[in-house]
Structure formats: C-alpha cells, structure tokens
Amino acid sequence: MGTLSFSFDTDKLQKRSDEITKGVDRAPGRSLLYTTGRIKRPADMDKPFIAVCNSYIEIVPGHVHLRELADIAKEEIRKAGGVPFEFNTIGVDDGIAMGHIGMRYSLPSRELIADAAETVINAHWFDGVLFMPNCDKITPGMLMAAARTNVPVVFVSGGPMKAGLDPHGKAITLSNMFEAVGAFKDGKLSREDFLEMEQNACPSCGSCAGMFTANSMNCLMEALGMALPFNGTALAILKQRRELVRQAARRVVAVVKQGLTPREIMTKEAFEDIYAADMAMGGSTNTVLHGLAIAHEAGVDYTEKDINRIAKRTPHIAKIAPSSHWTMEDVHRAGGMPAIMNELIEMGGDVFHPDRPSVTGKTIRENVLGHHSQDEAVIRPVAKAYSPVGGLAVLYGNIAKNGSVIKSAGVDPTITTFTGKAVCFDSHDAAVKGIDGGAVKKGDVVVIRYEGPKGGPGMPEMLNPTADIIERGLEKDVALITDGRFSGATHGICIGHVSTEAASGGEIALIRNGDRIHIDLVRRTVDLLVSDEELRQRRRELPPCTPKVKQGYLARYQALVTSADTGGVMVGYDQLLKAANELQ
C-alpha cells in the first residue's frame, strides 16, 4: 500500500477528510463527528480537519504544560479556518526512567509513538497535523510519523526549562544532579547540599535545561524546516513560547492549503543540514540514532558514514551544558538556532543548503537572515570556533565494524588518543556496581555490552556509569564503550552505539578483561589490540545470547528491532518476508 498523501486543490476543494465527510454513505460517520462537539454546523465539514497530536503527560516535566498549550493551539486553528481534533501519545521521561527497567522502554516508546500517530492520522483522514512534542523519544517518534504519513504538518515543542541553582547560586542542569549522586557516594558532597540540589535542579516545566537529546532534537527541527524559528530555545515559561504555539497553529492551516508535505521538506540535503547544525552546536549522540530513523521513514538513503563527511567540513561553534556551564536560556539570549545556522550559511560552500523550503512558507535562509550571535562567548563566530570539525564523530574499528558514536565536543580537547585496559561488564547494573565498588581505575576502558537495541532490550542510556566516572575525577583517565547509548547529558571519553551489538554476535562480545583497547579521535578509530586469530577462536567459544524478555512489548521489540547503525528501526515487511523464506 502506498503512502497516504494528498494535494489540496483550491478549485475542487478536495481534502483528505472528504473521505469521511462527503457522500450519502458517510452519513453515519458524520453523525459521530457532530457528537464530538468539534463540528458546530454543516459548513464545518468543508473545513480542513487538523489533528493536534499532543504528548501531554503529568509525570514528564517537559510535558506538564502541554495541556494549556494545546488549548491555545486549537483556538488558533479554528480562527484560521480549520477544525481541530486533539489526540495524545504516550511519553517516557528518561531522567525518571534512568537506571532501572523503565529505561528499557524509552527507545522502544519512539516506535509506539510513531505507530500511534500514524494510526490516528490515517484512520481518520486528517488534512494536517500540529505535532506538540518536547522530550527525548517523543520528538523523533512524531517526526517519524510525519515522514511516514506525509500529511502537511507543523511542529511546535514545549520548550526548555530554566536552569536550576546549586547551593552556591551556580546554574545547574539535570546532568549535574546525576553527577552529584557520584559525588555524594564518594563523600565529596554533604547531605544538606545534595538534598538542596535535588529540590532545585529542575525549577520549571520544560525539557531539561542543557543541550541534551530533547533540546537537541527540538533545535534540529528548525534546521530540518519542520518548526518555526526559536522553537528549540524559547523557554517553556516565556510568553514567546505561547506566541510560537499560536503562530504554528495558524501555519498548519496555511500549510494544508499550500499542500506542502513533510517529504518535500525532508530531503537528503535537509538531513545533511541537521547534522551540520548538530555538529556546530555539539548536540546529543542520540540525534544520530533518531536522524537515521527519520530519514528511513522519509525514504532518504542516509548512513553513519555520511555523518563523518559532514563533521569534517562543519566547525564546532557552541558548547552547551553538559559540555560547558551555558544552558538553553543562554543559547536563546545569544540568538538561538537562527544565529547558529546563519553563521554556517555565511561560511558559503557546501556546509549548509539554505534555499530549502520550510513550514514557515519561507526558505531556511529567509528564516534566519540577519540573525547573528548576541554573545560570542555562547555562540562563537566561525573564525573563533572551538574546533574546525564538528562535535560528533563516528568511529570504526575491529570492535565497531558497523560504526560507533562519540560526542567529541564533550571530550577534553587535550585528549586525541586513549589506550587502556578493558574492564568488562555484561549489563548497566553490573557496571554501576563495579564502578561504585572500585573495580575501575585510571587507565581503564569500561566495556558495557548486551545493552544494545536487542540486547538491552531497548538500548538503555548509560548516564549513571558515566556520571559516576566523572564525579570520581576520572573523566580524562577512563574511557567507556558500549553497545548501549548515552543521555545527552553524558560527556567524557564515551563511545556508544557500538555496532554490531553483542546480542547479535558483534565483536564487542569478544572483549575480555585485561585486553588493551586503542581509541583515536583524529583517525576516528576504536580497536581491540588482539590478533584476528585470537578473535576467531573467541568467536568459536562465544555462547549464544539468550533473550532477556519473553513476553510483552519488549519481547516483540527485541525480536524486530535492527542495529543502532540503522537508527534502531523495526524490521520492515520485506525483511520479514526474506527471513521467513530463509527458514523454509
């Protein structure tokens, strides 16, 4: 079955929603539509039906205010000539889910969100969608649904939270709170200060205040062309956020009438530009995972190898928490994504493709024209870049033949290579216990495996182990590699997304305690210093991996998910058919 999309013809007034509103046979459905209270009069049946895909959920701080924002949006949609219908998706708060079984549901929730949005949009033939995400997996899940359904859309997120304050009045974010756990365990932080930080690290609604995954994705939506300027940086509590919602609501009705679909915006050049923007701002490593998944849904052929090519030509011009003390409100004050993108555009060459369409009705170039950094300490000019190459890198080697990802912007600039002795753990929990117990020392490379998409299952984040390492003063002296992933709050010599993962027989499963591992950030390699013959012998001795989960959603996810280097997308029909034929 082909992609469900449409072209709005202003003469014939053909709309997707005509499928459920026109003709004698649709009278029962029209009766139900009147019952909802959204249809006030027969003339409303001729207006575009606009879904408001809201991710309001009371246990996620980034989303607790979306109930109010959705009401603002629906009022504006009706004023603009559309009929709004709100529906909700689920959401997982990574910070709350961190360090226990809940984190194994985080990445898989992305697929549920995409599937749920697709289901509602296509089952009810909506003409357009206003997506309202904010946190980690919700934004990419909705972007995947937008690409899949290819119905005209506009995105507006809930915005970042204010930075918190530590007992000394210093700005802090959630990443500082995770690191405070290690400091408290190590006796470096008093109980009183620890409790004060706990109650003040997250002082308002909104996505966590650093350039973590949620804010990285919400910023990159501007570069992609799916959201309005300042979507990624205007704080959740600002009046500007509410005005952005009003503007986005009006724009979605206009985009429907224009007939501009997501796949017209989500081109290969657009994905090159989101990675260029990511390199410039030093965003989360999770953007690699999500960008590849969104490209897959959009039918764009994009791989991790393309990302290194982008990194080589893109300067790193902003270091935001956790890589510095600057927070999202500092980025907004300094000019936000328009200033960052305009800096790249003014470089010229092929660093950025600014003449692409966007949901604003203007090109990306027009969206950011005239925007420059208002604080060069926060957003540097290219001439004063932290590095001439981007803040993310994909590393390859004999333990990452299909790639691995590091946030090079979060590594101390004095470190270009690291060689150390492997200390292996077969789970996140075992690693935390080992680090707390003193099993990890200077010069070690912590290996955490069987935590990939299949092995986890769900590819949980390794924020607790990395935070423990940092707070023990080992940030420059210990590296960590994993087939799991990291929070955007992670920094240090931390390599994730190692592919192929251990649960699928990847080489990371062959590492043994005491093996030496060499990391080269310049050559972008990560290698186990063991002979090929020894690795072949270890593979012969490697026992098969037993699935950790046998029932429920995680069991199904475990069976169908693909590798991190593909974006961790689910196996498609063609792949399932091929596997079935191979079994016959």
Of residues 55, 216, 487, 499, which has the active-site annotation? Answer: 487
How far is 118 from 570, CA to CA, in rounded Å? 15
Neighbours of 516 (CB within 10 A): 13
Q: Supply angle C-alpha 281, 293, 491, rounded to 5.
A: 35
Residue type, 529: L
How far is 177 from 194, CA to CA, in rounded Å? 8
Q: Is 137 flagged in the annotation as binding?
A: yes
List the one residue out of 285, 286, 289 whose CA is nearest residue 565.
289
487 is catalytic: yes
Say which residues have a Cβ less than 8 Å from residue 574's Cβ, sequence separation at least 6.
Answer: none
> How far from chain centre, in Å, is Cα 188?
33
Strands of 153-155's sheet in order across: 83-88, 49-54, 128-132, 153-155
**Residue 182 dihedral angles phi and psi, to the nearest 5°:** -65, -40
Q: Is 476 flagged in the annotation as binding?
A: no
Q: CA dist 533 to 406, 445, 529, 536, Å?
A: 28, 23, 12, 5
List the structure tokens of 437: 């117990």
How far is 584 from 579, CA to CA, in rounded Å? 9
Say which residues have a Cβ less than 8 Å from residue 464's Cβ, sequence separation at least 6.
Answer: 98, 99, 178, 181, 428, 432
Q: Give, to the nearest 10 degrees, the angle between helix 138-149 and helix 106-123.
A: 40
Q: Which helix or strand (DSSP H or E) is residue 123 part of?
A: helix 106-123
Q: Which helix or strand (DSSP H or E) is residue 494 part of?
A: strand 494-496
Long-range contacts of 272-275 (CB under 8 A, 24+ apart): 272/306, 272/310, 272/353, 273/223, 273/224, 273/352, 273/353, 273/356, 273/364, 274/220, 274/223, 274/224, 275/306, 275/307, 275/310, 275/311, 275/314, 275/390, 275/392
- Binding site, by residue number, is 94, 136-137, 461
- Binding site for Mg(2+), by residue number, is 94, 136-137, 461
Q: Any idea which residues carry the catalytic annotation? A: 487
